[in-house]
Amino acid sequence: MAGAPKLESSLYRPLAEINVTPLVDVMLVLLIVFMITAPLLATGMQVDLPQAKAAPVDPKEPVIVTVRKDGATFLGTEQLPPGGLGAAMHAKIGDNPATLIHLRGDREARYGEIVTAMDELARAGFAKIALITTTQGHAERQAVPAPAATP
């Protein structure tokens, strides 16, 4: 009989679906294993640390260098001679290149005076320099003259 359906071919078709239940089970087991072992890896070896009775470290006040509009340089409130900023810094805080220095320059100071102070600090080994400014809302507002008309 040529027209009869083949029963054998319909019973043995390949299964084209993937069963994700075993995959999810394995992933959850791995997740639990890693959650348990991760804190153990982070702490490393167990060590009984000694106790110290030292006083807590006070946060250091910032080192402030100021350049006035006349070019005078100050370390804190002490006026420095020209070229003496590096030596004064070493005398005050020693050889700690990680020290942050706040450099305050008057708005009317010449740009060269600020650069000279930064150069002295860099030659002395102090590379962390923060330029202190004010925001426009807090700065004194002055009228700027209009440019002259061109002919």
* In-domain check, residue 73: yes
Count other Cβ atoms within 10 Å, centred on residue 85.
25
* 67 domain residue, yes or no: yes
Q: What is the pLDDT of residue 143?
A: 46
Within a domain: 89: yes
Q: Tell me the CA distances in angstroms from 63 to 52, 102, 127, 144, one per residue in order.
A: 29, 6, 13, 34
pTM for the full model? 0.50
Task: Report yes or no on 124 lying in a domain.
Answer: yes
Find the CATH number of the domain harbouring 87.
Answer: 3.30.420.270
Asked, for residue 85, whether it belongs to a domain, the answer is yes
Note down pLDDT in tens along the chain; length 151 residues.
555 555 556 677 777 788 899 999 999 999 999 998 887 776 555 556 566 665 444 456 778 888 888 888 888 888 888 888 888 888 888 777 778 888 888 888 888 888 888 898 888 888 888 888 776 555 554 544 555 556 5
Q: Which domain holds residue 78?
A: 63-132
pLDDT of residue 108: 82
Asked, for residue 2, whether it belongs to a domain, the answer is: no
Contact 74, 68 (CB under 8 A): yes
Q: What is the tally of structural domains in the chain? A: 1
| Residues in the chain, overall count | 151
Residue 49: inside a domain, yes or no? Answer: no
Q: What are phi and psi of 34, to 5 degrees?
A: -70, -35
